[in-house]
Structures are given as structure tokens and as C-alpha cells.
Structure 1
Amino acid sequence: MDGIFETQPERTDLPLVVMPVVIASMIEPFKKNFAMLENVARVRMYEDFTLDEDTIVERCKDADAVMVIGFHCTDAILDRLPNVKCYAFGGTGVASYINLDKSKERGIRVCNVLHYGDHAVAEHTMALLMELTRHAGALDAQVKQGDWDGADGFELFGKRLGIIGLGGIGQTVAGIAKAFGMKVSAWNSHVPAQVFADLGVTPVDDMNELIAGSDVVSVHMPLLDSTRGIIAAENLEALRPGTLFVNTARAEVIEPGALLARLQRGDIPAALDVFEHEPLTADDPLCKIPGIVLTPHIAWRTDGAYIGLTKQVVQSITAFFKGEDFNVVV
């Protein structure tokens, strides 16, 4: 059939892995990794993109394992696919895409991928920050409309960046920021002292102190049970007017509704790649706030990230069918 790529279709004795949705740029990287599943499992990859739940369920009805790329595996999908025993998610923050408690109760394995997009997300973080400070995209639109007024910039050199979440992505952002001549601090949350020393980053134990003392705040916390809502409304009160705020992590690490309430005051320029409800709709209140830059959760989408991501997704499926562990979350 057109639009479907299959491996070993004649091997009906093998378990079936279905990828019901795929991002076009990932198709070739995935195909290069499917050899790992030879004589282990057959693959059926639908080479289009849809968020229609009924379509996803129909495509996965005979699957033993599902590769989750670009869609939220809702409770309704889990309930309608009782035969699926493994979900391999193409990202790190799987908790906002699959109900981990429900999966655990049902004995379903859920896997994610790690450190595949440290540079991709870090670079997008800086792209968002540069848009806030130098307005390249907005100025491009102005010039093409015959407007030569321009806009004042905000120089990053010498400014203080406060990072919340000094893992792989946060560390990469810190390195780039240091190259810009920024001073970098980070919230000290179980990060070894040597990491701070090696990066030349100042540890700050109190989140309010970090936020209040920063010219730019960038969030890089993974979404875990322990980090859900960890940035509270009280913490956002510490943002001084004019502080730049960037989130390329997960919206759920912030207390629900707290960021919208803070940004609606209109004194915090912000750039966001993640949202409490995705996809974001045009009538969302965030879209009505002036001076905010929004992108559609694509920080991770680069050619380099796809190489590591696709390999790890296939590795996790291969390990599952071989009785091994690889990137197991539950």
C-alpha cells in the first residue's frame, strides 16, 4: 500500500510494531535503524501525520508494540489498545504523553529516549532568546512591508542567565551563554558541585533568589512526578519587570495557570515552545499577550536529534522483545 512502509511482512510469526504517525523528516532515519529488528519483530510505519484518535487506534489495533511519535497517547487510546504491551516514546518527557501510572498498573512497558536533543533544544532556546532580544523575525517582516523603523535590542553580554534545571540541555545552554559573555547561575537541585565548577556556573539554592537575581530565566527541568508544578506562582512573583523568560522544557513543570497569570501583566517578555494544552489554538489567551514569542513544541526537531532519537526508539523496542532493558521508564 502507498504510504505504508513494512519490514518482513511475510513473517507473521513475529510480533508487530506499529508507528501510526511519523514526522516526514524522521522517515529515512528510522528506516536506517529497522535492521536491528530483523528476525525480532516486523514493523509497519505509516508515512503520514495525523492526530485523529480513531485513525491512530485503527492503525495500531493488531500491534504488540507502538512507537509514539508526535502524538499524545491518551487514556482513551490506551483503553482501546489492550493488546499493546510496549510503547516507545520518541522524546524524554514521556509523562506528558502517556499515563505512566495506568501503564504500570496494566504491566505495559513505556520507554523514552535520553540526551538525543541536548544541542537541538539548547540551540532553539538561544534562538528564542535572540528573537526576544534582537527581534530578527519581527524585523524581517517589517522590512518586507516597507517599514525601516527598526527596534532597539537588548544586549546579552554581561547579563545574568538563571537556569532552572542543569541537566544535559541546561548545561549546553550554559556553555553557549558563557560564549555570549553572560554570567550564568543555576538552581542547585541535586546537581554535583563539580558540574557547576566545570561549567563556571554559580549555584543558587533558593529558586526565588535565582529568579530575582537574573536578567534572563530559562527552564530546562524534565517532567517527572517530583518536578510537576515545581515552579510555583510564588516563584514567578520573583520575576522583576523586564526579565526575559524562556521555556523549552515542559509546561507542566510550572504550576497550572501560574505562568499565564504572570505574563498577562504584560511586563515580562517571554518565549515559549511548550504549553499546558497542545496544540495551542489561535484563541488561547497566550496568543493575545503582546511581546511573546511562541513556537509549536519543535525545539527538539533537528537533523542531528533525529539520528539519536530514531536509533534509541528502535533499540528500546528491540530490547523489549529480547527480554532486555533499554531506556525503560515503567
Structure 2
Amino acid sequence: MIIERNMEHTDLPLVVIPACFPSMAPYLERGLDVIATKARVRMHTDMTLDLDEIMARLENANVAMTTGIHFNNAMLDALAPTLRCLTFGGTGVANFVDVNHAHDLDIMVCNAVHYGDNAVAEHTIALLFEITHKAGRLDVRTRAQGWPGSDITEIGGMTMGIVGFGGIGHRVAELAHGLGMKLIVWARHPDTETLDRLGVERADSIDDVFAKADVVSPHLALNDATRGIITARHLDMLHPGAIFLNTARAELVEQGALERRLNNGDIFAGLDVFDPEPLPDDAPLRDCPNTVLTPHVAWRSDKALAGIVDQNIRSVVAFLDGESYNIV
């Protein structure tokens, strides 16, 4: 379905939403009237990742509001004659757009920040619970088999190691602390007040985290400095029975290193992010032992979706007013 506003006013800029997640559509639709005071608006309510279709829908767009769409440089080049602003429904825009190339084409890129700190943190802990308490898997087995026996593992008393201490890492630490876990954190710019309040051990290096923690969870933005920052050597430091969680970005881990470590069969992993996405049917991770996999949904809570849309609409309105908001 296509929803339009103000299309008869051809003198106004054109804002296009070429695709959206169904759960995001109601929030976007409610915001269209705000944009329509300054521009024409066309919203496609389905979610397609077909790039030819995306390009057709963005023809003559001055502003593109996007989520989950990977723009290669050829696409940006083709859109550049009219496109002046691209908003991305998330924080990791560098995974989806070559920001420097967009800037070279005079395309403003805006993202959303801190909208999903709590949602992603909760999902991180949910993966931990599924690994240790197996509630989802035991539900399936109980329905199919009647009364399967299984031991579980308590989280209280474990050491949670966190790599990176921004909004999400901060919230994970609070939740883990509330569960009775000990904490060790490595961060370039630590929030000392929070670290002191939670009784966190401050790691001198990432090595310390992997060597000491029972559970390791990275919470870093993906950029040139963090890509591959977690290496095979780090993963080899995990003791048997340790748990690796990743709800941040798969590319933080050296390519292939996690699969190799998991194939030893002596650690566990809870993963919500992959490279590439969607996860291919023949991806080695699908066959790795001791894993819980979810399809990059940690950010998709009702509150987070509303926050994304609100920030993206603010970015569009600011751009149309000759100002800026959440520029990358």
C-alpha cells in the first residue's frame, strides 16, 4: 500500500519512505502530517529489500527515510541528482551506507541514537537466560516429548564482562548487577560514576575481560577502529563453559573466528547480529553447537520503534528547515 500527502504541490520537496517494517508503519503514518506541512510525502508500507524496487520508489526523492536497506555507492550515485538527505532508522548507519561517499555527493545522512538502549540490553539478558535456563527450548521439548529432563545454570554469581560502555553497555551492566552478577568492563571512555556505583572491576584491556569473565558481551559501535577488534586470540581465552553474547554488530569479531571457536563445542553463544544479514541458509553458524540465534530483533520493541520514528521525523523536519538533527 502507498500512503501519500500533499502530492499535488509539486513545488515542494519530495520525501519518500521506500519500505518499512510492518510494526513501524503505524508510527510512521502518524508522523506524516508533520512532514506534510513542509513537503510532499510518499510512504510504501511494505518491507522489500529488492534494490531495483527500492530505486524505482526513490525516483526524484529529495529525502529518503530508510530502515534496513543497504545502499551501495552506485545507488547513491544514481540518487545523487535529487537526493539531499537520507535518514536511517538505527544507530549503525555505517553498515548500510558509505557515509563518506554520501557526503562527497552532498547527501546529508542522519541516524537515530539511544532509542533502543533498554530493548537491546534486555534482549542481551534474554539470550543469556535462554542459554542458561533453556526456557524456550524446554517448552518445545516438553510439548513434543512430554517430560524431558534438563539441568539449568544459575546466573547469580557469574562474572559479566562488557566491552564498551555506552548507553547499551551501561544498561546491560545495570541489569546484570540486578541479577547478582559480578562485572568487569573495558571501555575507552568509562562512566566512572556508574562503574563505582555498580562495583565494577575496570579492565586494563580487552584481554582482561575475555580471560576473567564467564559471560562476555561487546557493546561497541562499528567503525574502522572497532571492526575485528575481537580476535580469535580473545575467543581462545574464554574458559570452557563460558558464554559469548553479541547484540551489537557481527563485524566486531574477526571474520570466521567465532565459528571456529564454537566448533570446539566447549563454549556457548547467543547472537542477534550476523555478517551478512539476513543469515544465509548455508551459513556455518546455523550448524555450530551450543548457540541461540535470533534474527536481529533486539532493537524492535514498541518503545524503540516509536523512538526511531520520532528521531527520523525530527531529522527530516530539521533538514527541510535548513537545520540539522542527528547528522552522522
Q: TM-score, with normalisation over the residues of structure 2? A: 0.96
Q: State the alpha-carbon separation in 2 of the partners of residues 319 and 285 from structure 1.
A: 44
Name 1:237's counterpart in structure 2: 236
After superposition, give the CA deviation of every residue in 1:15-71 in whole Å (9 maximum; x if it has no partner).
111111101111111122233323322211101111111100000011111111122
Matched, 1:126 2:125: yes
- Give the 3-state SS of the residue equivalent to 1:145 in structure 2: helix
The alpha carbon displacement at 1:146 in A equals: 2.1
Name 1:56's counterpart in structure 2: 54
Aligned-residue CA RMSD (Å): 1.4
Consecutive aligned runs of 4 or more in structure 1 exceeding 3 Å deviation? none
Amino acid across the alignment from 2:70: H
Q: State the alpha-carbon separation in 2 of the partners of residues 135 and 215 from structure 1.
A: 17
Name 1:40's counterpart in structure 2: 38
Name 1:21's counterpart in structure 2: 19
Q: State the alpha-carbon separation in 2 of the partners of residues 322 and 231 from structure 1.
A: 42
Amino acid across the alignment from 1:282: D
The alpha carbon displacement at 1:266 in A equals: 1.8
The answer as to whether partners of 2:108 and 2:327 remain within 8 angstroms in 1 is yes
Amino acid across the alignment from 2:203: V
The alpha carbon displacement at 1:73 in A equals: 2.0
Q: Give the unaligned 5+ runs of structure 1.
A: none
- Give the 3-state SS of the residue equivalent to 2:276 in structure 1: coil
Name 1:80's counterpart in structure 2: 78
For 1:100-111, list aligned pairs within 5 A.
Answer: 100-111=99-110
Percent of residue pairs bearing the same amino acid type = 47
Give the number of aligned pairs: 327
Name 2:254's counterpart in structure 1: 255
Q: TM-score, with normalisation over the residues of structure 1? A: 0.95
- Give the 3-state SS of the residue equivalent to 2:145 in structure 1: coil
Matched, 1:139 2:138: yes
The alpha carbon displacement at 1:175 in A equals: 0.8
Q: State the alpha-carbon separation in 2 of the partners of residues 40 and 173 from structure 1.
A: 40
After superposition, give the CA deviation of every residue in 1:285-315 in whole Å (9 maximum; x if it has no partner).
0001122111111100011101111000111
Name 2:279's counterpart in structure 1: 280
Amino acid across the alignment from 1:205: D
After TM superposition, the structure 1 stretch with the greater mean CA deviation from structure 2, 24-33 or 192-201, is: 192-201
After superposition, give the CA deviation of every residue in 1:103-149 in whole Å (9 maximum; x if it has no partner).
12222111110000011101111111111011111111101112412
Q: State the alpha-carbon separation in 2 of the partners of residues 322 and 218 from structure 1.
A: 41
For 1:149-164, list aligned pairs within 5 A.
Answer: 149-164=148-163
Name 2:68's counterpart in structure 1: 70
Q: State the alpha-carbon separation in 2 of the partners of residues 61 and 4 from structure 1.
A: 15
Q: State the alpha-carbon separation in 2 of the partners of residues 264 and 130 from structure 1.
A: 22
After superposition, give the CA deviation of every residue in 1:178-213 in whole Å (9 maximum; x if it has no partner).
111111111132223223123332211211111110
The answer as to whether partners of 1:19 and 1:69 remain within 8 angstroms in 2 is no
Q: State the alpha-carbon separation in 2 of the partners of residues 297 and 178 from structure 1.
A: 25
Q: State the alpha-carbon separation in 1 of the partners of residues 284 and 181 from structure 2.
A: 32
After TM superposition, the structure 1 stretch with the greater mean CA deviation from structure 2, 268-277 or 221-230, is: 221-230
After TM superposition, the structure 1 stretch with the greater mean CA deviation from structure 2, 42-51 or 146-155, is: 146-155
Matched, 1:206 2:202: no
After TM superposition, the structure 1 stretch with the greater mean CA deviation from structure 2, 298-307 or 181-190, is: 181-190
Amino acid across the alignment from 2:79: L
Q: Give the unaligned 5+ runs of structure 2.
A: none
After TM superposition, the structure 1 stretch with the greater mean CA deviation from structure 2, 311-320 or 70-79, is: 70-79
The answer as to whether partners of 1:36 and 1:315 remain within 8 angstroms in 2 is no
The alpha carbon displacement at 1:8 in A equals: 1.5
Q: State the alpha-carbon separation in 2 of the partners of residues 243 and 168 from structure 1.
A: 24
The alpha carbon displacement at 1:265 in A equals: 1.9
The alpha carbon displacement at 1:250 in A equals: 0.6
The answer as to whether partners of 1:69 and 1:89 remain within 8 angstroms in 2 is yes
Q: State the alpha-carbon separation in 2 of the partners of residues 33 and 199 from structure 1.
A: 39
For 1:157-176, list aligned pairs within 5 A.
Answer: 157-176=156-175
Q: State the alpha-carbon separation in 2 of the partners of residues 192 and 168 from structure 1.
A: 10
- Give the 3-state SS of the residue equivalent to 1:57 in structure 2: helix
The answer as to whether partners of 2:263 and 2:289 remain within 8 angstroms in 1 is no
After TM superposition, the structure 1 stretch with the greater mean CA deviation from structure 2, 55-64 or 71-80, is: 71-80
Q: State the alpha-carbon separation in 2 of the partners of residues 79 and 262 from structure 1.
A: 40
Q: State the alpha-carbon separation in 1 of the partners of residues 231 and 266 from structure 2.
A: 18
Q: State the alpha-carbon separation in 1 of the partners of residues 221 and 14 from structure 2.
A: 31
